[in-house]
A = this chain, B = another copy of it.
């Protein structure tokens, strides 16, 4: 619970009902989309304006109270669990689209805006905002910015960072900064915009964002390629890019994922296939046709068993929806689902998928793998039971080995889900001791008292990296 006088001062800023420390509010904000993590905050505050956020932050800085800023909490890295208590700042009231600028192709929005609501609005104006995390129906733009969210269209269109042109943010001191603007080019000083995107609420509180919009593609086609041989699917991914085609979407689902997705979405997928690639291309109609023909040829050359092009938009959307449902579908299997995010250079996808299988077998855990194959960004997903400590331990050991394998292939511990609590013990594996020192110095420069999302990104206990020789 909050100190009574502090609560009253917070209520003085946002109004009585928007600053709470009742148990209901605290429990509701003690966890996020990440399994097996929970920690009670002392209070929950719902600001409505940037000025309120600034006032709140000044007050909390004065009292040295930690702050975790969140939207819908759909992240999978424990990024919004209030590990050290303090205040959870919920941004849902700041959810307005402030402007869509049709001259400059920009939109200026508040962070609590739901991603899907934003993309729907933008598309109704004949424009396009590509970042499309799987959680977009509930995720917020602010959350997407904090985590630098990717999505299914990332291969061709990039991730959230590529679409953030400017930010308004409140610093740990309560001061307000503005970075960038409606400018496609700006080199005035260090790039604070791109530094804040993906900083997981540890450097500042984003209160407004100016986003880049693009012209929408005129046409789109969707294809499924099915393989009895997983390596053939993985090779197809490399061969498509090597043939100088960048599809909008290039996703892979392995056999365990195919089975549960089909149970869930009733698509009549062939359950005996080792892998399915879901491929979309968009753009001008002739180009889409030509690219899809070329892609089909690559799939067949790599011994795809079947290649099906969606005949209608509805069919295509059902296929995409099925891929988006992978996490939900897997989550029905067993009580606890741990979705990971290892990423490798695209050329190593085949090696990585094989390694994941070997590691799962070695530790006797169930791991289904799907993900953004074109980005090299795989989501090996363990289905387990949090009540079985011994099994959970095996799952954790398997994931540690998976991260180690990713790094030894020139990859990273997280492609799009962020570090948060879950990956913090492993961050040094990727960035090294000097990299950690630089990041800690940046953190201290922004937040000398460690009030912004403490315990995230920088772990007290770092895992020792055991380099495993691969056979």
List the interface of chain A (C-beta within 8 A of B).
Answer: 101-106, 126-127, 147-148, 150, 154-155, 158-159, 161-162, 171, 175-179, 181-192, 194-195, 197-199, 203, 214-216, 238, 241-242, 244-246, 283-284, 286-287, 290, 343-347, 372, 375-377, 410-419, 423, 427, 430-432, 434-439, 441-446, 457
- 30 A-B pairs within 8 Å (CB atoms) are namely A103-B345, A104-B345, A127-B244, A150-B185, A154-B184, A154-B185, A162-B162, A175-B434, A175-B437, A177-B434, A177-B438, A178-B435, A182-B345, A182-B410, A183-B343, A183-B415, A187-B412, A187-B417, A189-B436, A190-B199, A190-B442, A191-B194, A191-B195, A192-B435, A194-B195, A214-B246, A215-B246, A216-B244, A438-B446, A444-B445
**Nearest CB in chain B to that of A185: its residue:** B415
Given contacts A185-B375, A190-B198, contact A442 B445 (CB under 8 A): yes
B345 close to A431 (CB less than 8 A): no
**Nearest CB in chain B to that of A245: its residue:** B215
B188 close to A215 (CB less than 8 A): no
A171 to B184, CA, bound (A): 29
Given contacts A171-B438, A185-B154, A189-B430, contact A105 B241 (CB under 8 A): yes
B192 close to A439 (CB less than 8 A): yes
A188 to B194, CA, bound (A): 14
A345 to B185, CA, bound (A): 9
A442 to B190, CA, bound (A): 9
Residues of chain B with a CB closer than 8 A to A177's CB: 431-432, 434-435, 438
Give chain B nearest CB distance to A256 CB in angstroms. Answer: 23
B188 close to A423 (CB less than 8 A): yes
A197 close to B191 (CB less than 8 A): yes
Residues of chain B with a CB closer than 8 A to A442's CB: 190, 442, 445
A439 to B192, CA, bound (A): 8
A412 close to B198 (CB less than 8 A): no
A445 close to B441 (CB less than 8 A): yes
A375 to B165, CA, bound (A): 13
Given contacts A194-B191, A195-B191, contact A185 B434 (CB under 8 A): no
Copies in the complex: 2
Given contacts A179-B431, A195-B191, contact A184 B376 (CB under 8 A): yes
B438 close to A192 (CB less than 8 A): yes
B195 close to A195 (CB less than 8 A): yes
A216 to B372, CA, bound (A): 23
B376 close to A238 (CB less than 8 A): no
Residues of chain B with a CB closer than 8 A to A411's CB: 181, 183
Residues of chain B with a CB closer than 8 A to A187's CB: 147-148, 198, 412, 414-419
Known: A189-B457, A444-B445. 5 other contacts (CB 8 A): A148-B191, A154-B185, A162-B162, A284-B284, A438-B446
A415 to B431, CA, bound (A): 30
A431 close to B181 (CB less than 8 A): no
Give chain B nearest CB distance to A168 CB in angstroms. Answer: 11
Given contacts A194-B194, A445-B438, contact A188 B284 (CB under 8 A): no
Give chain B nearest CB distance to A355 CB in angstroms. Answer: 17
B181 close to A412 (CB less than 8 A): yes
Residues of chain B with a CB closer than 8 A to A155's CB: 184
Residues of chain B with a CB closer than 8 A to A287's CB: 283-284, 286-287
A190 close to B195 (CB less than 8 A): yes
The 10 closest A-B pairs by CB, nearest first: A103-B347, A441-B445, A215-B244, A185-B415, A182-B345, A194-B194, A188-B430, A175-B434, A186-B412, A445-B445
A185 close to B215 (CB less than 8 A): no
Give chain B nearest CB distance to A112 CB in angstroms. Answer: 21
**Nearest CB in chain B to that of A202: its residue:** B190
Residues of chain B with a CB closer than 8 A to A159's CB: 185
Give chain B nearest CB distance to A247 CB in angstroms. Answer: 12
A183 to B415, CA, bound (A): 8
The one of B175, B181, B412, B432 in contact with A183, judged by C-beta atoms closer than 8 angstroms, is B412
A169 to B203, CA, bound (A): 23
A353 to B284, CA, bound (A): 34
B343 close to A431 (CB less than 8 A): no
